[in-house]
Structure 1
Amino acid sequence: MNLPFIEIIESPTPDPNLLMWKFADKDREIKNGAQLTVRESQQAMLLNQGQLADVFQPGLHRLATENVPILSRLKGWKYGFESPFKADVYFFNTYHFINNKWGTPAPILMQDSQFGQVRVRAFGSFDIKIADAGKFFRTYAGTFPRLTIFELQGQLRDFVAPKFGEVLAQEQIPLTSAAGNITDLSRKIEPHLKPYFETLGLELTQFIITSVTLPEEVTAFYDKVTNMNMVADMDKFTRFNTANAIGEKGTALNDATQTALAMGVLLNQVQQNNTNATPQQAPAATPPPNDITAKLQQLKILFENGLIDEDEYKAKKADLLTQL
């Protein structure tokens, strides 16, 4: 039993992730004068005996001798073809495939004029579309009856990541520019990538760098530089840092300050005792409340610094409180 000839050829996109797929002809021949419908955001390709016969843009096409002259030459028909013929039809999605992720699988070694050799990592995305279905088929997709964007992404990422580092080296882009202005860096790198995509019949419509990660030591250095640039008065900046260090427990400057205060309290106490002492050991006048408050504060500093024990602290504190 002979299978009916194919008279209508069309194929709505079965999967939005498809780049290319073969029309299911079920091994039937195409009738002379058959109609081929190519939708917007599609291209169709006719393949005869492994050779590309023609590529069709969006619209309605009649597959006849006058419309497909290349097929006549491939078949060797001197006066065209009137009988059905066997050919493979492939459809291609030509809309934008956006947000294809890329990243450096390992840090890239780049040379910087200030820091020398530095390892950086970068991440981003790119948008592509099929610009030339024939070239795409010949250079990449010829052995696939069905091809999705996912199969292509891996190969493109393997090209983009090392090319990123190569362009940084060629253009001698400073580390500050690479990390600080990624939009401008994206524009500089994109023209270096486009020729490769064109060899595959693809168009790189947008290349984006979302982040450039610097080593921790480089980031720490720039944080310090940024803080310094925000300071207009270096003397005030020094005093500010010193005050912060004094108030921060556990630092050497804080420990030294506390010790100095404690020693000052001891010396002041000794001097007062020597001044107030008389041969008759007359009772000292009751100190004013403000003086007692200061002594209580000094006493607490002595205790916190371990210069007196808890019992001594409590006894002296009780003595001072009785004078209020």
Structure 2
Amino acid sequence: MSFFKNQFANVVEWEEFRDDMIFWKWNNREIKKGSKLIIRAGQDAIFINNGKIEGIFKDDGEFNVESEIVPFLSTLKGFKFGFNSGMRVEVLFVNTKEFTVRWGTQNPVLIPTPQLPGGMPIRANGTFNFKVNDYVTLIDKVAGIKQSYLVDDVKIRITSVLDQLLMKWISREGKDMFNLQANSAEIARGIREDLDMQVMDDGLAITGFQVMSFNYPKEIQDMINKTASHEMIGNLSKYQQVSMTDGMASGKVQGAGAASDMAGMMMGMNIAKEMMKNMEEGQSSSAPVSGGGNSGGGAKKPNFCPNCGAKNEGANFCSNCGQKLA
């Protein structure tokens, strides 16, 4: 007898569960007497009749539809199962977790900037988070026409407007185009608020938006790195001298014809100029103060050898090249 009693019974459950699925609809079947409802952790079950929500069940477990579910359905609580008849309702299973999605600009976003008439081409990447927020709106706008809904469906919608939002929030209030990472939190906050308004009509909520990095074209990134190096050196003239000296010492500044010869000659002239300047400063700083008479010590000896520039300690001859100094 029990066989005949339960031969039409079925199990109402999410049969095609996937981590990237937002909801799945159990429909086009009749719930018979003795049927069971199975709700797993992280799922809610929504009973729908003629497009109207009859009841929402959030506790996970196994439930008898006739005795534990029907009494709580809003307009179907008086429904009685017959031997050959059942109840035709849709059951929408909703994934209640918060989804995390990676995003990235497929093409560079041209940010208007005075320095570049065509705009600054910038790429960006990061993550955003969302979850189902409003079941009534979700059923009215999405579940009413779809059998299931995937994370990729939401990602496509988000990325379709992301370029415009990046342009809006990067250009806002004259942000430094060459140091966008410093403003990434503010930019992300503005984009999250705008995206939340976009998906609110589907019963979803954007719970987080993060910008991991902004990427410039290689030429601009090289320029940023070079500018940073100059600022770290502090003295641009000294940096140029050091760079040229390093280049010649390493053999990089050679064999380039007239340009290389000119660079070497300019460097030599600068070095000679600095040497003469140092000699003159040393001589003026060590010149004796006139005392109004001659002590008879003979002719004054120079502090530096006029032939090789070596420092003199009062000797008559240069200790480096032998030049007579007296």
**Superposition TM-score tier, normalisation by shorter sequence:** 0.5 to 0.7
**Counterpart position of 2:303:** none
Pairwise CA distance, 1:133: 3.2
Amino acid corresponding to residue 80 of structure 2 in structure 1: E
Pairwise CA distance, 1:245: 4.7
In the alignment, which of 249, 252, 262 is matched to residue 254 of structure 2?
249
In the alignment, which of 170, 191, 213 is matched to residue 168 of structure 1?
170
**Counterpart position of 1:49:** 50
CA contact (8 A) 2:126 2:211 kept: yes
Pairwise CA distance, 1:195: 2.2
Matches within 5 A, 1:73-152: 80-83=78-81, 84-98=86-100, 100-112=101-113, 115=116, 117-152=119-154
Alignment partner of 2:45: what SS? strand
TM-score (norm 2): 0.63
Matches within 5 A, 1:22-61: 22-23=25-26, 27-31=29-33, 36-59=37-60
Pairwise CA distance, 1:108: 1.6
Alpha-carbon separation, structure 1, partners of 2:133 and 2:264: 75
Alpha-carbon separation, structure 2, partners of 1:172 and 1:213: 19
Amino acid corresponding to residue 147 of structure 1 in structure 2: Y
Alpha-carbon separation, structure 1, partners of 2:213 and 2:149: 30
CA contact (8 A) 1:37 1:58 kept: no
Amino acid corresponding to residue 176 of structure 2 in structure 1: P
Q: Which moved more, 1:113-122 or 1:87-96?
A: 113-122
**Counterpart position of 1:309:** none
Matches within 5 A, 1:1-324: 4=7, 6=9, 9-11=12-14, 14-23=17-26, 27-31=29-33, 36-59=37-60, 62-65=68-71, 67-71=72-76, 80-83=78-81, 84-98=86-100, 100-112=101-113, 115=116, 117-247=119-249, 248-251=253-256, 252=258, 254-256=260-262
CA contact (8 A) 1:107 1:119 kept: yes
Pairwise CA distance, 1:243: 1.8
Amino acid corresponding to residue 42 of structure 1 in structure 2: Q
Amino acid corresponding to residue 233 of structure 1 in structure 2: N
Q: Alignment length, in residue pairs?
A: 250
**Counterpart position of 2:322:** none
Instruction: Name the structure with the higher helix share.
Output: 1
Alignment partner of 1:92: what SS? strand
Alpha-carbon separation, structure 1, partners of 2:168 and 2:263: 54
Q: CA RMSD in A?
A: 3.5
Alpha-carbon separation, structure 2, partners of 1:172 and 1:154: 30
After superposition, the Cα gap between the structure-2 partners of 1:71 and 1:176, relative to the gap in structure 1 and judged at 3 Å, is farther
Q: Give runs of ≥4 in structure 1 deviating > 4 Å.
A: 1-8, 113-116, 257-260
Pairwise CA distance, 1:175: 1.2
Alpha-carbon separation, structure 1, partners of 2:234 and 2:164: 42
**Counterpart position of 1:299:** none
Q: Which moved more, 1:4-13 or 1:191-200?
A: 4-13
Alpha-carbon separation, structure 2, partners of 1:71 and 1:169: 55
Alpha-carbon separation, structure 1, partners of 2:144 and 2:27: 17
**Counterpart position of 1:77:** none
Pairwise CA distance, 1:7: 7.0
Deviations 1:72-107 (A, max 9, x none): 6xxxxxxx4334421011211111222x23222322
Which runs of 5 or more structure 2 residues have no equivalent in the other structure? 267-326
CA contact (8 A) 1:102 1:160 kept: no
Amino acid corresponding to residue 12 of structure 2 in structure 1: I
CA contact (8 A) 1:245 1:254 kept: no
Identity of aligned residues (%): 21
Alpha-carbon separation, structure 1, partners of 2:237 and 2:88: 88
Pairwise CA distance, 1:212: 1.5
After superposition, the Cα gap between the structure-2 partners of 1:205 and 1:219, relative to the gap in structure 1 and judged at 3 Å, is same
